[in-house]
Amino acid sequence: MKVLKFGGTSVGSSKNINKVISILDAYAKESKVVCVVSAVGGITDKLLLAGMQAQSKDNAFKATFQIIKDVHFSIIKELNPDNSSSILNYAEEKLNELESLLNGIFLINEISPKTSDKLVTFGELLSSFIIAETMKNRGLSAYRKNAQELVVTNANFTKAEVDYSVTNANIKDYFSSAKENITILPGFIARSTFGEQTTLGRGGSDFTAAIVAAALHVEQLEIWTDVSGMFTTNPKLVKQARPIETISYQEAMELSHFGAKVLYPPTVQPVLDLNIPIHIKNTMEPEAVGTIISNEFVASNNPVKGISNISNIALLTLQGSGMVGIPGFSKRLFETLSNEKINVILITQASSEHSICLGIEAKDVEIAKTAIDITFENEIALHKIDPIQVETNLSIVALVGDNMKNHQGISGKMFSSLGKNNINIRAIAQGASEKNISIVIEETDVKKALNTLHEVFFESITKQLNVFITGVGNVGERLVEQIKQQKKYLKDNLKINLRVVGLSNSRTMMFNGGGISLKNWKEDLSNGEKASLEGFFENAKSLNLRNSIFVDVTANKDVAGLYEKYLRESIAVVACNKIACSSTFSNYKELKRLSLKYNAPFLFETNVGAGLPIIDTLSNLIASGDKVTSIQAVLSGSLNFVFNNFNDTTKFYDVVKQAAAEGYTEPDPRIDLSGVDVARKILILARESGVTMDLEDIENIPFLSKAGLESNSVDDFYQTLIDDEAHYQSLFASAKAKDCQLKYVAKFDNGKASVSLQEIPKGHPFYNLEGSDNIVMFYTERYSQQPMIIKGAGAGADVTASGLFADIIRLGNN
Ligand code: ADP
Ligand code: ASP
Ligand code: MG
């Protein structure tokens, strides 16, 4: 004898019922088969909805009823195109009964648990009949036996408890003489000792199948559903979830108790003592191996077997100084909830006994609160305890594994990975058996939490980075192209799954939580929604993805002003925009503090020297305990270009114009030529060396002519370059006379910084600096004689983009 159960989706359409019939047909060739079926998918919900509508005098129940009717009629006709009349007659009769019941509920304006149970039985009664009769029509030896004649329960409506002695005897007795090869049983529904209709709880068809399997002592129970087994976590929320091949009864029970809907929790009980394995199979993919739940121990190097979640949780906290050391509070609390038939899912109590915290289903919260406040009325009046505190919109997430007790550090890993992603944990419970660590978090964080934990415990090899890029101009565009090109390499070689999830320029923006396809990103972006900085932030926040990174490729002050908000959401910030780091010292410090506090890195390597590893090198020196004594640097690619090309055969104006045309200067060349840009860079290096400094503290000795310094517009400024050619030629002549080169130099020495044009003699490391190159010399306590020198291209879109890229990858390795 075989026992199989098919769930709602498996019998949810004529197409799927045909699959079920062919599976049963094949099985029946080998042995007799008992097949437990659910209601057609979604019908139990619809029946309950119609009931609720009718009881609240809402005529919509009629439309709901009509849908229920139509669904069944079309399945019957599709399955039996030539001979559907007898099945239709039965269905018609049942549906008339249902309609009368709904009219009754409407009239009396009330639905009791008992009536509710009566109402939902129609689902399984109809589906089981339709399937059995269709099989008969096709010449198979099948019979529908009403499980209500076998499964006997108490009268605890909506979740009745089984009387095993009567039920087992009934089942054995019936099947000892059942003639047909295939018996179809409606799952979920039962009858009380007094003959009332009862049910075994939502999802209870699994349980019916287990009861039958145990009563008949079969070798194995098969649960056929719409996924290929019990997964490492909820496959609807985590794409990377995968089926678990083997799992113990205990683990399966924990996972299902904590929300893995694929198995109704009580299902394990009847088969556990008899050691009957449960095999979970996929009706849509019968060849997939599925999951075996049994007592067999299979060694695995992962102590965590699965992660599950329950939504709609409320947290109740009872606290007050009057509770300390006085026995009996917990007893009264739990008794109160038990009297109200409220299920407690999670309990934590601090060792101070000052408070007890309980997780219950949100639907029970009103009744629970009222009952508890009545129980403790006196203590509350005497201020010994506070009225019960209620928090809602919460979820439980549980890590499960028999073997977790033998491994240290699992909870540490769990909490730190969630912490890094700004997921606040409201309560924690770990049983002494250590098979389960449960936490309570905000409902809105569940998807992120499951994905984070799944990545840490099941895919630790790959890390997903979710990147939001603002400012896809020259540099930004190169960055996106580099990401597009390197995506596969990063995955294969660095185990980093780098996804762009948000993109924006000044006109439009677009998002895709699943990762933007970069194939035609420019065109897609131009069709995106209207850009807004706040809107971009709000999207990044509400997508709530793990390892989120905001990348600022603008030179915009308002964008820099938003870093704080990103960091507070634990979204890392990577910027080539210098404004934040060269703003007031207090703002710079505050961003650093937020970065630490919210565990969100703030990286800005490209603020100085484009892609050159200057800031990273500096922070490594400082981290290892070295101290910077002085810095000398040429940090402006544009000024270096200008002075490398300016001489007594060229004109200063022409050279600056050329630098602008080749993209070396800012759109406003005064920012470069006035030395402000270089001042900002040396400021950032000084700050990163540990010095408190502001832009005003930097001595800026200008080389521009007076008129140039005072010009009011870019055009005016260019005119002064023409007018004051003699001034610039004199600078060149003076240097030439001394056999020197002109270089724009930034210095930091003895806590003081300056920027100025310098005459560099032959033999100095700056003398031969070419093109738009940058050079930095760090003198430190350890590099006191010979400086540490970093030199190379310090401007240009490609190198800046690769500097940003390097910061992003740094976060992947973090
Ligand atoms: P049936 O109607 O066949 O009884 P259910 O809907 O009750 O099916 O259960 C199957 C569903 O359980 C899956 O479609 C999946 O969405 C959900 N589920 C939640 N957690 C898990 C998990 N850990 N493994 C597999 N499925 C899960
Ligand atoms: N039809 C019932 C429900 O939806 C029982 C089941 O499908 O297991 O809860
Ligand atoms: Mg189910």
Residues 326 and 411 both lie in one domain = yes
Asked if residue 101 belongs to a domain, the reply is no
Mutate to test the pocket of ligand 1, among 261, 283, 397 (most ligand atoms within 8 A of CB): 261
Residue 302 has what pLDDT? 85
Residues 654 and 727 both lie in one domain = yes
Active-site entry in 681, 736, 747, 752: 681
The response to whether residue 12 sits with its C-beta less than 6 Å from ligand 2 reads no
Asked if residue 291 belongs to a domain, the reply is no
From CA 543, how far away is CA 379, in angstroms rounded? Answer: 45
Three-point CA angle 539, 545, 550, nearest 5°: 60
Pick from 218, 238, 261: which residue ends a domain?
Answer: 218
Residues 601 and 669 both lie in one domain = no
Place of tokens 């890390």: 463
Residues 541 and 484 both lie in one domain = yes
Pick from 409, 440, 471: which residue ends a domain?
Answer: 440
From CA 34, how far away is CA 455, in angstroms rounded? Answer: 40
- Ligand 3 centroid distance, CA of 265 (Å): 10
Task: Write the CB contacts of 57 (distance below 8 Å, at least 6 apart in sequence).
Answer: 106, 109
Give the number of other Cβ atoms within 10 Å of residue 156's Cβ.
14
Residues 421 and 471 both lie in one domain = no
Over the chain (814 residues), the average pLDDT of each successive run of 10 is: 97 98 96 97 98 98 98 98 95 98 97 98 98 97 98 97 98 96 98 97 97 97 98 95 95 94 95 96 96 85 92 93 79 93 87 81 95 94 92 96 87 91 90 84 96 89 91 93 95 92 97 95 96 97 95 95 97 96 97 94 95 94 94 93 94 94 83 94 96 96 96 96 97 97 96 96 93 92 94 88 95 82
Mutate to test the pocket of ligand 1, among 45, 227, 278, 284 (most ligand atoms within 8 A of CB): 227
Ligand nearest to the CA of 261: 1
Residue 353 has what pLDDT? 62
Q: How far is CA 30 from CA 98, 279, 282, 511, 797, in A?
A: 38, 18, 20, 54, 71
| Sign of CA pseudo-dihedral 604, 607, 611, 615 | negative
Under 8 Å between Cβ of 228 and 285 = yes
The two three-digit tokens of residue 348, written as one number = 């934590």
Asked if residue 114 belongs to a domain, the reply is no
Give the number of other Cβ atoms within 10 Å of residue 733's Cβ.
12
Under 8 Å between Cβ of 312 and 361 = yes
Q: How far is CA 631 from CA 589, 626, 768, in A?
A: 21, 14, 19
- Ligand 3 centroid distance, CA of 292 (Å): 17
The response to whether residue 37 sits with its C-beta less than 6 Å from ligand 1 reads no
CATH number for the domain harbouring residue 590: 3.40.50.720
Ligand nearest to the CA of 458: 1
SS (H, E, C) 633-698: EECCHHHHHHHHHCCCCCCHHHHHHHHHHCCCCCCCCHHHHCCHHHHHHHHHHHHHCCCCCCHHHC
Give the number of other Cβ atoms within 10 Å of residue 369's Cβ.
16
CATH number for the domain harbouring residue 156: 3.40.1160.10
- Ligand 2 centroid distance, CA of 452 (Å): 31
Asked if residue 319 belongs to a domain, the reply is yes
Residues 552 and 653 both lie in one domain = no
Looking from the CA of residue 206, the nearest atom of ligand 2 is 8
Asked if residue 106 belongs to a domain, the reply is no
Ligand nearest to the CA of 311: 1
Output the furthest CA–CA distance in the chain (Å, rounded): 117
Under 8 Å between Cβ of 254 and 266 = no
Q: What pairs with residue 778 in β-bridges?
A: 631, 788
The response to whether residue 290 sits with its C-beta less than 6 Å from ligand 1 reads no
- Ligand 2 centroid distance, CA of 190 (Å): 13
**Phi, psi of 632, deg, nearest 5:** -130, 135
Residues 384 and 529 both lie in one domain = no
- Ligand 3 centroid distance, CA of 41 (Å): 10
Place of tokens 């630790």: 460
Q: How many domains does the chain divide into?
A: 4
Residue 352 has what pLDDT? 63
Residues 653 and 784 both lie in one domain = yes
pTM of the model: 0.73
Residue 307 has what pLDDT? 97
- Structural domain including 390 reads 304-440
**Phi, psi of 284, deg, nearest 5:** -80, -15
The response to whether residue 283 sits with its C-beta less than 6 Å from ligand 1 reads no
Mutate to test the pocket of ligand 2, among 5, 35, 44, 199 (most ligand atoms within 8 A of CB): 44
Pick from 165, 200, 218: which residue ends a domain?
Answer: 218
- Ligand 1 centroid distance, CA of 460 (Å): 25
Looking from the CA of residue 204, the nearest atom of ligand 2 is 8
Strand, helix or coil for residue 234: coil
Residue 664 has what pLDDT? 80
Residue 661 has what pLDDT? 86
Asked if residue 46 belongs to a domain, the reply is no
- Ligand 3 centroid distance, CA of 204 (Å): 7
Looking from the CA of residue 39, the nearest atom of ligand 2 is 1
Asked if residue 14 belongs to a domain, the reply is yes
The response to whether residue 262 sits with its C-beta less than 6 Å from ligand 1 reads yes
Asked if residue 111 belongs to a domain, the reply is no
Ligand nearest to the CA of 37: 2
CATH number for the domain harbouring residue 413: 3.30.2130.10
Residues 424 and 487 both lie in one domain = no
The response to whether residue 552 sits with its C-beta less than 6 Å from ligand 1 reads no
The response to whether residue 123 sits with its C-beta less than 6 Å from ligand 1 reads no
Looking from the CA of residue 7, the nearest atom of ligand 1 is 3
Residues 474 and 433 both lie in one domain = no
Residues 714 and 763 both lie in one domain = yes
Mutate to test the pocket of ligand 2, among 202, 225, 256, 283 (most ligand atoms within 8 A of CB): 202
| Catalytic residue list contains 62 | no
Looking from the CA of residue 45, the nearest atom of ligand 2 is 4
- Ligand 1 centroid distance, CA of 250 (Å): 18
Residue 432 has what pLDDT? 64
Under 8 Å between Cβ of 743 and 640 = yes
Take atom 2 of ligand 2 and give the residue whose Cα is closest: 203
Take atom 12 of ligand 1 and give the residue whose Cα is closest: 262
Looking from the CA of residue 206, the nearest atom of ligand 1 is 4
Residues 485 and 577 both lie in one domain = yes
Q: How far is CA 90 from CA 20, 94, 122, 127, 129, in A?
A: 22, 6, 12, 11, 9
The two three-digit tokens of residue 465, written as one number = 């980075």
C-alpha 256 chain-centroid distance: 21
